[in-house]
Chains A and B, each alone.
Chain A
Amino acid sequence: MSKLNGNGRDVNKIVNAAVTEYHSKPEELIPILLKVNQELGFIPAEALELISERIHIPESRVYSVASFYRMLSTKPTGRHVIKFCESAPCHVAGGREVWNALLKELMIQPGETSPDGKWTLKTTSCLGVCAVGPVMMVDDDIYGNLTPGQIPDILEKYE
């Protein structure tokens, strides 16, 4: 039996591949969840159930871990995920103005996904590139030395 999720991806197949990659070990739960999250954009309920069955730990514990870590999401995310650094060096370097520009442009609040499913806005802990703050990540691209004026141009690059 194979289940397809909203994106048409085969959850069963993705979970199996992730579990196999990490040798079905319970202590590898976090890498497994990261892998599934990366493939699907989030960890749907049926994936939590499948992982629980495959590595023989209670589903409650799988959920407790999936909901604990910032990089794991149990809710669907947009096509592009913006992670804005909210750390002090970026804050001091003018991060607040950039953040306000971002909120204004996206018209969503942190943690939310835009109604068209294009954007999810998140804050992130320090990305460690403080020399070029303020910093944000759009998917895997890092943007540094940000100014409020650059925000519309950057967002425009993404389909």
Chain B
Amino acid sequence: MTYFRSHILVCNDPECLEKGSMEIMQALKSELSSKGLLDEVQILDTPRIGNCESGPEILVYPEGFHYINLSKENIPFLVEEQFLKGRPVNDLLAPPKKEEAQELGEPTAKEIRVVLRNCGKIDPQNIEEYIAEDGYQALAKVLTQYSPDDVINTITQSGLRGRGGAGFPTGKKWAIARDSVDGQKYLVCNADEGDPGAFMNRSVLEGDPHSVIEGMIIAAYTIGASQGYIYCRAEYPIAIRTLNIAIEQAREYGLLGKNIIGTDFSFDLEVRKGAGAFVCGEETALIASIEGKRGEPRPRPPFPAVKGLFGKPTNINNVETYANIPQIILRGADWYASMGTEKSKGTKTFALAGDVKRTGLIEVPFGITVREIVYDVGGGIKNDREFKAIQTGGPMGGCLPAEYLDLPVDYEKLTQAGSIMGSGGMVVMDDETCMVDIARFFMEFIQDESCGKCVPCRVGTRRMLEILTRICNGEGRDGDIELLEALSAEIKQDSLCGLGQGAPNPVVSTLKHFRSEYEAHIYKKECPAKVCRALIRYEIQADKCVGCTACARNCPVNAITGEAKKTHYIDPDICIRCGICKQVCNYEAVLVT
């Protein structure tokens, strides 16, 4: 068999033929011939390369470059660049296929934007644009007309609950901090948004930083704090920069610093950067980190409202909680309480990710159903596959199956269903997702992020990960499920902080809703979703394989044999189940069993 280093596939569908694909083929031949490359590069004609809309089109293998809208005039340059110099011609390449990847698009009918109302609409680096959108009016109203008790009453009436995930009533939290008697009090904003897949806070910090700053000044006035910190994770350099610009501008306008807008109230703010530790999102660990120590949690009580930063009373709220405050003051507690459910008022931002058509940031009123979020806001499942599960609440959250599609989303309902609200990450999974693999995946994350201070979390999560890993590797044993359940109960009960207490959640929820998948892995040595490598094998279907050799050429371990234009075969003993053959096959001939 002759060896060609490259193959050019020219589309010969009627549409492309009409647009001149034969001329392209001729031009390629003569150009390759004149460069002496005809015995190195093979030209083939084939149907179905793209959708012919941008024909004539060709594919170049082994790289898989897809060139579109070609004309004879392009060919000499293309041949020289691609086949002599070995680099692609970017101007002629088809744009990469992708679903809409807009972080924050126009709101859909089911969305209401309170926290995100200014994001993408105003220049976050210009305080005047925020002021033009009623910015700092709430602050002026509070400082001139409200006593701290008035603010607490308004916030309590609005029903606002902590958006960091636990859902503690914000008015109550402020009242406790206000009642703590001490000369010095601190205010902290938790912007250590570490949940994988959650980037709601980043968008607010980058798109509307003043709403957070205004909320913080109002909170500081209410509890009597003179110094505030925004603890932002270092993975968000743009958010940190935007915040610093906003704080500087607020100082210039007399909104931060001494005697804010001419009153005798003084308050200033500083941004503190994290250094990459997930556990610092826990409030006591966050306080330790601001103090320049290891970010390890400590037992509560005493709660930070009594003894927090530098041993002083400290109020900590999440970015989104603070960003809601100015709107509640301006538009009234009743307006805010009119949205949502009985116990969960207002709106919540979520970062929708995974296998939905429209991923990105959304803000919806509480009480919206999972189905509305996935199908109306998210546009449904990618590639029109089946919905399998939705993971809410970040790594300590849970997975809910299709039976829960009509569940109204609020703090209580999610908890009852076996998941949590968390900070607002939502990962949608289709039927190609293995739930045991997902549980193992989250356990790996938690085990890695466990700070190591308390034994149940440090050792327990490691044991759980080992069990999950062996189940995924096809080495699960009878009794493993029970062992996981026992460990889950103990870790939940005995861990020091929310990280450990929530750590077993992914396992508990997947065991509750997808127990049969665990059983299939352990007892039948099967992975129903065809994900776990040790439990699957790749096969080439004879009726679909055209013998294009793409799989054999791309196989990293040379497990695939077969002559050109004849059916290929995968040796299961050599195959490492990397799946590259399935990816490169244009004929869907590779089957996973």
Contacts and interface: CB of A to CB of B under 8 A. Distances in A.
Contacts of A70: 275-277
B275 A27 contact: no
B363 interface: no
Interface stretch (B312-320, B491-499, B575-583): B575-583
A107 interface: no
A136 interface: no
A28 B271 CA distance: 12
A1 interface: no
Main SS class of interface, B = loop
Interface in A27-56: 27-31, 33-34
A69 B276 contact: yes
B256 to A, nearest CB: 20
A121 interface: no
Nearest to A55: B292
Given A30-B275, A130-B351, A68 B295 contact: yes
Interface string B252-291: 0000000000000000000011111110000000000111
B293 A65 contact: yes
A72 B289 CA distance: 14
Contacts of A61: 293
Interface string B544-573: 000000000000100000000000000000
Nearest to A127: B235
A29 B63 contact: no
A33 B353 CA distance: 34
B391 interface: yes
A105 B355 CA distance: 27
B502 to A, nearest CB: 15
A102 B288 CA distance: 36
B354 A132 contact: no
A69 B275 contact: yes
Instruction: For chain A, give the interface size range.
Output: 35 or more
A27 B290 contact: yes
B193 interface: yes
Interface stretch (A10-18, A74-82, A91-99): A91-99
A34 B234 contact: yes
Task: Determine which residue in B96, B193, B275 has the highest number of CB atoms from chain A within 10 A of its CB, and name it.
Answer: B275
Contacts of A128: 193, 198-199, 202, 235-236
Nearest to B449: A125
B196 A87 contact: yes
B353 to A, nearest CB: 4
B273 A129 contact: no
Nearest to A132: B101
Contacts of B273: 30-31, 34
Main SS class of interface, A = helix
A148 interface: yes
Given A33-B275, A131-B359, A68 B234 contact: no
A94 B432 CA distance: 11
Nearest to A133: B353
A125 B196 contact: yes
Nearest to B63: A149
Nearest to B579: A97
A70 B355 CA distance: 29
A131 B353 contact: yes
A71 B233 CA distance: 10
Contact of B445 (A68, A69, A87, A145): A87
Contacts of A87: 196-197, 445
A126 interface: yes
A23 interface: no
Contacts of A25: 292
B224 to A, nearest CB: 22
Interface in B358-414: 359-360, 391, 395
A104 interface: yes
Nearest to A100: B578
A72 B274 CA distance: 11
Interface in A143-159: 144-145, 148-149
A130 B199 contact: yes
Given A29-B292, A69-B276, A87-B445, A126 B198 contact: yes
A86 B583 CA distance: 21
B442 A88 contact: yes
A69 B449 CA distance: 10
A89 B295 contact: no
B197 A130 contact: yes
A126 B195 contact: yes
Contacts of A114: none
Interface string B178-205: 0000000000000001111111001000
Contacts of A88: 196-197, 353-354, 391, 395, 425, 427, 438, 441-442, 445
Nearest to A67: B294
B292 A65 contact: yes
Contact of A145 (B101, B272, B295): B101
Contacts of B444: 86
Nearest to B438: A88
Contacts of A132: 101
A75 B348 CA distance: 42
Contacts of B198: 126, 128
Contacts of A28: 292
B337 interface: no
Nearest to B236: A128
A134 B202 CA distance: 18
A126 B391 contact: no
27 contacts: A26-B292, A27-B290, A29-B292, A30-B289, A69-B275, A70-B277, A71-B275, A72-B275, A88-B354, A89-B197, A89-B425, A92-B355, A92-B429, A92-B433, A97-B580, A124-B276, A125-B194, A125-B196, A125-B449, A126-B196, A128-B199, A130-B197, A130-B199, A130-B351, A131-B359, A145-B96, A149-B63
Interface of B: 63-64, 96, 98, 101-103, 193-199, 202, 234-236, 272-278, 289-295, 310, 351, 353-355, 359-360, 391, 395, 425, 427, 429, 433, 438, 441-442, 444-445, 449, 451, 556, 578-580, 583
Interface of A: 25-31, 33-34, 61, 64-65, 68-72, 86-89, 91-93, 97, 100, 104, 124-133, 144-145, 148-149
What 3 pairs across the A-B complex have the smallest Cβ distances?
Answer: A87-B196, A70-B276, A69-B275
